Amino acid sequence: MKIANGLEIPIDQLFVNITSSGAKAVDYIPDRIMYLVAELSPKEQRIVYDLIIQALKLRN
């Protein structure tokens, strides 16, 4: 938090290209989805979430 404050940037900017898999964020699909959904309104996020849940149910 101190580094982000010192740089005057949001904390998430410090980690924008870091993924749990070690892959670049632009290549890691879960991160790409997260960044796309983060820009949506809460109502739109819920719709996308519900669509993903329904799609996952169809794979079985």
In whole angstroms, give the CA distance from residue 3 to residue 9: 9
- How many domains does the structure of the chain reveal? 1
**Is 48 within 8 Å of 37 (Cβ atoms)?**
yes
CA atoms within 13 A on the CB side of 36: 9
**What are the C-alpha distances in Å from 22 to residues 4, 36, 42?**
22, 20, 29
Q: Determine the pLDDT at residue 31.
A: 77
The domain of 6 spans 2-58
More confident site: 52 or 14? 52
Q: What pLDDT, in 10s, does the model give residues 1-49?
A: 788 778 777 777 777 766 565 555 556 788 788 888 888 899 999 999 9
* Rounded CA separation 57/4 (Å): 40
| Residue 32 burial (CB count, 10 A) | 13
pTM: 0.52
The pLDDT value given to residue 48: 93
